Amino acid sequence: MKSFRSQILFFTTFLTSVTLSVFTLISSVPVRANTSFFGKISLSPSSEGVRKSVTGYTGGSYSLSAISNRDRRNNLCIGFADPKPDHIVVLEKDFPKLNLKVNSRGYDTTLLIVGPDDKTVRCGDDTGESKDASINGSDWKAGTYKVWVGSFKAGVRRNYKLSLQQ
User: What pLDDT, in 10s, does the model give residues 17-76?
Assistant: 434 343 333 333 333 456 888 989 999 988 788 899 999 999 999 999 999 999 999 999
Residue predicted with more confidence, 22 or 83 = 83
Cβ neighbors of 37 (< 8 A, separation 6 or more) are 56, 82, 84, 85, 86, 87
Rounding to the nearest 10 degrees, give the CA dihedral for residues 66, 68, 69, 75: -140
Residue 112 near residue 136, CB atoms below 8 Å: no
Nearest CA to 42 among 95, 102, 119, 81?
A: 95
Compute the average pLDDT of residues 88-94.
97
- Whole-structure pTM value: 0.77
Q: Are strands 159-165 and 87-91 parallel, antiparallel or unpaired?
A: unpaired
Please tell me the distance from the alpha carbon of residue 125 to that of residue 77, in angstroms, as a whole number: 8
pLDDT of residue 4: 52
d(CA 160, CA 15): 54
- The residues spanned by each domain of the chain are 1-30, 40-165
pLDDT tens for 95-128 read 999 999 999 998 999 999 999 998 999 999 986 6
| Segments in the chain forming alpha helices (H) | 2-28
Q: Which fold has domain 40-165?
A: Jelly Rolls (2.60.120)
Could you tell me how many residues make up the chain?
Answer: 166
For residue 143, CA distances in Å to 42, 43, 56, 95 come to 10, 10, 22, 10
How high is the pLDDT of residue 21? 40
Across the range 7-17, mean pLDDT stands at 48
**Cβ-proximal residues to 57 (8 Å cutoff; 6+ apart), any chain:** 157, 158, 159, 160
What is the per-residue pLDDT for 3? 60
